[in-house]
Amino acid sequence: MRLKRASMAEVFYRAKHRIENKQLRRRAFSEGLTLPVPCIPRDDWAGLLMPDIQVGVDSIEPEELLKGKIYTLNTGEDSIGQFETRWRNIFSGDIKYNGALADIRAIWEPARLQHLAKLIIAGQISQPKDVSRIEKAIRDGILDWLEKNPFLLGPHYISPMECGLRLPVFVYALITRNHWSDEDRDMLLDAVYKHGWWVAGRLSLYASLGNHTICESIGLIFAGAVYRKTAEGKKWLEKGISLLQQELSHQVMEDGGPNEQSFNYHRFVLDLYRLAAGFLEKNGLYDCTLWKPRLTKGENFLKTFMDASGNVPSIGDSDDGYALAPCVYPKRGDDDFMETRPCVTFPESGYTVIQSAKRLLFTFDHGSLGMAPLYNHGHADALSISLSVAGEQVLVDSGTYRYNGEPEWRRYFKGTRAHNTVNIDGADQAVQETGFIWSHPYKAELLSIIEKNGSIILEAGHDGYARLKHPVYHKRTVILLDASCFVIRDLFSGKGNHNFELNFHLHPDASVQSEDAWLSIRKNNAKVNTDGLVKSNIL
């Protein structure tokens, strides 16, 4: 499926990697994998500065981390440990990680070492009596990981994205820890160089451009900054900056929305850009001024979707990843968000948000399937809606569940039935080829928007079912009659007999009760009444 969408340049790029992997595999089991690492003076890295970091409302939790807490995506540590032990001494390219064995995303999570990133931040703000314990935990954690995961062996070198996300942690530890031995620092410098080398040769390019590319660029920037006075390090730094510059307008659209059509990955990508910009500017490596207007648009996009409790709809894929660590993130800027209009449309990314004094927040999705040509992280959710009342999520996007190991549920959560829209003849609006590849993408568009005398009328449509034997075009009209009354009208035009399935997904904590002629949806202090009737027009 990837080859069908690949250019000749990408075919050669992938073939080159296959050949190199075979060569590396032979070396791993013959003379051993050795990579000459240049020796650099302390001054090349000791003066580097960390970017400004913000801490969220939750505590840094140093005590729990010092007692061994790691982030596991709700997967048992025993399961992760067993998988790592089984494949520890196997060349990474030979590891089998189909979903029957493990969710590889869960295996990778602790190896991002973000529990140690959080400890490093805690060490910067902790009382002096805690510093020695934190220093020891960071040193032991990193050196233990390096000892258990020799270069290119085991599951944690499969994805260059994962290597890219580890590099900031290595560099933070290198430049902020004061009591490491020369031998320990040499091991860490060795890991920084080898990770940088591996990422530089395995970049996600061509059809694979996406948030992986951003993670890898971050890794190149941090490794390149440490080795910037070597020929390789200078190339890494320049390549990382160049890719971020290129991808900013590709991944963050002109209206600030996500090209990948995933809100979680949008947050992830924006934080990675802020992380890179903060590091580069603080160390005088690059002026990121031209990046900031687009990043501000991205922040304002997400803020527009945020209800009174800070909730944002779970639109598109989510792997629950963080640029740094949970509740720890790079400084996101002090730009004030002044959007107060009752109806805001994002024409490029394809969303409209209706809000009234933050008590009611209604979203309408009339955007594309995702980032072409594979549409990896998009869901078939054309014309889907969500509703939050008084900070309580009522009508929700079903989210992602998980990527690996549950193919039937992966298909469901990506599919049309899992969203607040209409499914026709049991088919999705596009065709799921794999867990990450779509074909037959639909075209969705906002047809009209009218605001008059406090009322708002939105009309949008999509052609996802034009591929049926008897094609059908779906048009949805959303009418806000006043500050709290919506009418939703679905119109289907085409020929033949069809089955139409309309879904509205409630938050798991919401309850439904019958009250006279109404159905009442309640969630804590929020209440939504509906007449209980579904009316559609079919032509």
Q: Do residue 315 and residue 366 come from a single domain?
A: no
Q: Do residue 303 and residue 355 come from a single domain?
A: no
Q: Do residue 241 and residue 297 come from a single domain?
A: yes
Whole-number percent of the chain with pLDDT over 90: 67
Any domain includes 335: no
- By C-alpha distance, which of 52, 48, 19 is closest to 334? 52
Contact in structure between 345 and 365 (CB atoms under 8 Å): no
Q: How does pLDDT run across 204-223, given as a tens digit for each residue?
A: 999 889 999 999 999 999 99
Q: Cα separation of 239 and 93, whole Å?
A: 25
The helix (run of H) or strand (run of E) holding residue 526 is strand 526-530
Region 55-75: mean pLDDT is 80
**In total, how many domains does the chain have?**
3
What are the backbone angles phi and psi of residue 285, rounded to the nearest 5°? -95, -25
Any domain includes 39: no
Q: Cα separation of 515 and 129, whole Å?
A: 61
Any domain includes 185: yes
Q: pLDDT confidence of 531, banded at 50, 70, 90?
A: confident
CA angle 509, 515, 519 (to 5 degrees): 55
Q: Do residue 149 and residue 273 come from a single domain?
A: yes
Q: Do residue 151 and residue 283 come from a single domain?
A: yes
Residue 539 is predicted with a pLDDT of 45
Any domain includes 37: no
SS3 320: coil
Q: Do residue 238 and residue 351 come from a single domain?
A: no
- Decide which of 330, 365, 399 is a domain's last residue: 330
Any domain includes 38: no
- Count, in order, helices (H) and strands (E) of the chain: 14, 19
What are the backbone angles phi and psi of residue 395, rounded to the nearest 5°? -95, 125
By CB atoms closer than 10 A (0-12, 13-18, 19+), residue 289 is exposed
- Would you say residue 181 has pLDDT above 50? yes
Q: Do residue 306 and residue 430 come from a single domain?
A: no
Q: How does pLDDT run across 95-142, given as a tens digit for each residue?
A: 887 665 678 899 999 999 999 999 988 877 766 567 788 888 999 999
Q: Cα separation of 419 and 437, whole Å?
A: 19
Region 240-249: mean pLDDT is 97
Q: Do residue 323 and residue 453 come from a single domain?
A: no
Any domain includes 352: yes
- By C-alpha distance, which of 20, 46, 48, 19 is closest to 35? 20
Q: Do residue 251 and residue 316 come from a single domain?
A: yes
What are the backbone angles phi and psi of residue 96, rounded to the nearest 5°? -95, 125
Any domain includes 8: yes
The pLDDT mean for the chain works out to 90
- By C-alpha distance, which of 213, 241, 220 is closest to 167? 220
- Decide which of 330, 365, 387 is a domain's last residue: 330
Any domain includes 337: no
Q: How does pLDDT run across 322-341, given as a tens digit for each residue?
A: 999 998 999 887 665 656 68
Dihedral sign computed on CA atoms, order 433, 419, 371, 407: negative
Q: Do residue 317 and residue 388 come from a single domain?
A: no
Q: Do residue 22 and residue 50 come from a single domain?
A: no
Report the interhelical angle of 231-251 vs 292-304 (nearest 10°): 40
- Decide which of 295, 330, 365 is a domain's last residue: 330
- Would you say residue 169 has pLDDT above 70? yes
Q: How does pLDDT run across 456-510, given as a tens digit for each residue?
A: 999 999 999 999 999 999 999 999 887 778 899 999 999 999 999 999 999 999 9
What are the backbone angles phi and psi of residue 212, rounded to the nearest 5°? -60, -40
User: Between 302 and 534, where is the model more confident?
Assistant: 302
Residue 443 is predicted with a pLDDT of 97
What are the backbone angles phi and psi of residue 454, rounded to the nearest 5°? 85, -10
Alpha-carbon torsion angle 388, 389, 392, 395, nearest 10: -40
* CB burial string 517-536: b at 16+ within 10 A, e below: eeeebbbeebebeeeeeeee
Q: Do residue 519 and residue 498 come from a single domain?
A: yes
* Domain CATH for 417: 2.70.98.70
* Domain CATH for 214: 1.50.10.100
SS3 133: helix
User: What's the domain range around 63?
Assistant: 44-330
Residue 58 is predicted with a pLDDT of 59
